[in-house]
Chain A
Amino acid sequence: AAGVIQSPRHLIKEKRETATLKCYPIPRHDTVYWYQQGPGQDPQFLISFYEKMQSDKGSIPDRFSAQQFSDYHSELNMSSLELGDSALYFCASSLRDRGTSYGYTFGSGTRLTVV
Chain B
Amino acid sequence: QKEVEQNSGPLSVPEGAIASLNCTYSDRGSQSFFWYRQYSGKSPELIMSIYSNGDKEDGRFTAQLNKASQYVSLLIRDSQPSDSATYLCAVNGPGGYSTLTFGKGTMLLVSP
Interface residues of A, Cβ cutoff 8 Å to B = 33, 41-43, 45, 48, 50, 55-56, 58, 88, 90, 96, 99-109, 111
> B100: which of A55, A96, A103, A109 is its contact (CB, 8 Å)?
A103
B103 and A106 contacting across the interface, CB-CB below 8 Å? no
B46 and A105 contacting across the interface, CB-CB below 8 Å? yes
Chain B interface mostly: loop
B41 and A88 contacting across the interface, CB-CB below 8 Å? yes
Q: List 11 A-B contacts (CB under 8 A).
A: A33-B99, A42-B88, A42-B105, A43-B44, A45-B100, A45-B101, A48-B99, A99-B96, A101-B31, A108-B42, A111-B41
- Asked if B55 is an interface residue, CB under 8 A from chain A, the answer is no
Instruction: Give A102's nearest chain B residue, CB to CB.
Output: B49
Instruction: Give B35's nearest chain A residue, CB to CB.
Output: A103
B43 and A42 contacting across the interface, CB-CB below 8 Å? no
- Asked if B82 is an interface residue, CB under 8 A from chain A, the answer is no
Interface residues on B, range: 20 to 34
B73-107 interface (Cβ within 8 A of A): 88, 90, 92, 95-105
Instruction: Give B48's nearest chain A residue, CB to CB.
Output: A103
B90 and A103 contacting across the interface, CB-CB below 8 Å? yes
Q: How far is the CB of B61 from chain A (nearest CB, A)?
A: 14
Contacts of A105 in B (CB 8 A): 46
Contacts of A45 in B (CB 8 A): 99-101
A101 and B99 contacting across the interface, CB-CB below 8 Å? no
Give Cα A41–Cα B40 distance, bound, in whole angstroms: 11
Give Cα A55–Cα B49 distance, bound, in whole angstroms: 23
Instruction: Give B93's nearest chain A residue, CB to CB.
Output: A100
Contacts of B43 in A (CB 8 A): 90, 106-109
Give Cα A101–Cα B46 distance, bound, in whole angstroms: 12
Instruction: Give B96's nearest chain A residue, CB to CB.
Output: A99
B99 and A58 contacting across the interface, CB-CB below 8 Å? yes
Give Cα A101–Cα B31 distance, bound, in whole angstroms: 8
Do A103 and B49 form a contact, CB below 8 Å, given A41-B104, A108-B43, A109-B43? yes
A104 and B100 contacting across the interface, CB-CB below 8 Å? yes
Give Cα A115–Cα B19 distance, bound, in whole angstroms: 40
Contacts of A103 in B (CB 8 A): 32, 34, 36, 46, 49, 90, 100
